[in-house]
A = this chain, B = another copy of it.
Amino acid sequence: MTNYVYIATSLDGFIATKDGGIDWLTGIPNRENSDYGFAEFMRGIDAIVMGRNTFQTVMSFNSWPYQKPVFVLSNTLKTLPGVIACKAEIIEGNPREVVKLLRDRGFNNLYIDGGRTIQGFLAEDLIDEMIITRVPVLLGDGIPLFGKLSKLIKFSHIRTEIIGQGMVKNHYRRLRD
């Protein structure tokens, strides 16, 4: 039962520009057309939890990128576009409630995605592992990966891999006392 973060950020900790742009990330040459380990990561995942903003970004992609059930965390959205309704579902509640709800339905390993969603889960100390890929660029402004916390959270370092054009992929595990 593990909650994962798997995300790319700029050196200054942004996951997108202010207007949600990720050209600085998707524009990186990828000659071998590598998924940089994403499929392998996804094999260990039972379901994806994302915020509404991330859902809208994903909806703008050419094709739906997930094989696993997606839960869109929103207290305002009521329905999803018909074409996606068999792949994604709206879920309501705070991070603790969401985890309980999904575990009760048999989804044990959750991929938590999107800035605000990740921040909400971290604020409740509900993230167990983080795989963070640092792109060697300073954006200078944008949507931050991390937010305020009421206390320090320690992690242990599992491994580091250099992928693509100088991206550094770090795997961390929550270190609980």
Contact = CB atoms under 8 A, between A and B. Distances in A.
Contacts of A24: 152
Contact of A11 (B132, B136, B140, B160): B132
A8 to B, nearest CB: 14
A56 interface: no
A89 to B, nearest CB: 30
A157 B138 CA distance: 13
Interface residues of A, number: 36
B132 A140 contact: no
Interface stretch (A41-49, A98-106, A166-174): A166-174
Contacts of A145: 12
A13 interface: yes
A175 B11 CA distance: 14
A124 interface: no
A54 to B, nearest CB: 19
A94 interface: no
Interface in A1-54: 11-13, 24
A122 B141 CA distance: 13
8 contacts: A11-B132, A13-B146, A136-B172, A137-B153, A139-B152, A140-B148, A140-B151, A140-B152
Interface of A: 11-13, 24, 122, 130, 132, 134, 136-141, 145-157, 160, 162, 165-168, 170, 172, 175
